[in-house]
Structure 1
Amino acid sequence: MLREATADDVHLMLSWRNQKANRQVSKNSHEISAEEHARWWSAVRDDPSRRVLVYVRDDHPCGVVTFFDLRLDGPRTGAWGFYLDSDGLAGRGETLPAWLGIMREAVEYAFDGLHLDRLDGEVLEHNTVVRQMNRRFRFVEGTGRREMSDGREIMVIPISLHQTDRRRR
């Protein structure tokens, strides 16, 4: 289940985002400070072009989905990203089911909740497991581009999914 994030979730979101597994597959790989996270939360919580949702599995919050660059007039488009409580889920042996669940819920929210025509995102080239999962959900990869981030060169691959191409339950 996805629900809107609240101020009570901010500390959880920061702790999950700073887990090593999440930093390794993010464009910004540095550890995010509490101040940096507070600035982000202050900017996104009331921004109509963004949504921040918490993924809840078996009554336990365990992930975050962000939608951004939402354009809800004309062609309805938006971008998204997500991360999980990698450490907690791995410890409980629930990583794969949670990963499938958060992706399924996010795609459903994008197309059935926000009524998007197209959902966009990005994935780092070296994140082959996520790239495979994206293909399973019928996302299409575009041409990658090299970027510098946190002192390292990364290859960022755009992805997109049109509403008419999505998988349905």
Structure 2
Amino acid sequence: MLRTATDADVGLILTMRNQQANRDVSLTTHEISADEHAAWWAKTSLDPGRRVLIYLRDGVPAGVVNFFDLDGTSGSWGFFLDAEGLAETGATLPAWIEVMREATEYAFDELGLELLTGEVLEHNTVVRQMNRRFRFTEGTPETRYAGGREIIVIPISLRKQDRRSKQGKS
């Protein structure tokens, strides 16, 4: 289940985002400070082109979904999971599938998007495979520099008509 993030979730979001597993697959790899995070939340929570959602698994917060650059017909997204908590219970893979399914349904059914875009780091082959499972297509890789390192970033996109059916029939 996805629910809108609130001010009460800010600390939880920061804790999950700063987990090493999440930093390893992000453009921003440094540990985010409380002040940096508070500034992000202050800006994000007022932005009408953004939605930050908490992913709940069995009623427990287990991830964060972030939609941004929403313009009514298209938008971008990203997410991260509570890697440490889910690993302890052996629920990482089912949670990952569930959050992707719920997030894409939210994008197309709740937000009314026709096109959902995002990015994945080239070295994150497991995420790239999961994206393909959900019918995202990859664009032309581009080189970026962040944190003193060269990174290959691959844009991804999914059109509403190309998504997997809710019933899993296609």
TM-score (norm: length of structure 1): 0.97
Contiguous gaps of at least 5 residues in structure 1: none
Count of residue pairs the alignment pairs up: 166
Partner of 1:64: 64
Partner of 1:19: 19
Partner of 2:88: 91
Q: How does 1:145-164 map to 2 (within 5 A)?
A: 145-164=142-161
Q: How does 1:26-105 map to 2 (within 5 A)?
A: 26-72=26-72, 76-105=73-102
Using the alignment, how far apart are the partners of 1:19 and 1:113 within structure 2?
A: 29
Using the alignment, how far apart are the partners of 1:29 and 1:82 within structure 2?
A: 15
CA shift at 1:46, angstroms? 1.6
Partner of 2:107: 110
Using the alignment, how far apart are the partners of 1:94 and 1:61 within structure 2?
A: 13
Cα deviation 1:94-137 (Å, max 9, x = unaligned): 00010001100000000000010000000000000000000000
CA shift at 1:52, angstroms? 0.2
What RMSD in Å do the two structures reach over aligned CA positions?
0.5
Partner of 1:129: 126
4+ long deviations beyond 4 Å? none
Q: Which amino acid aligns with 1:85?
A: D
Contiguous gaps of at least 5 residues in structure 2: none
CA shift at 1:34, angstroms? 0.4
TM-score (norm: length of structure 2): 0.97
Q: Which amino acid aligns with 1:146?
A: T
Identify the match of residue 138 of structure 2 among 141, 146, 153. Answer: 141
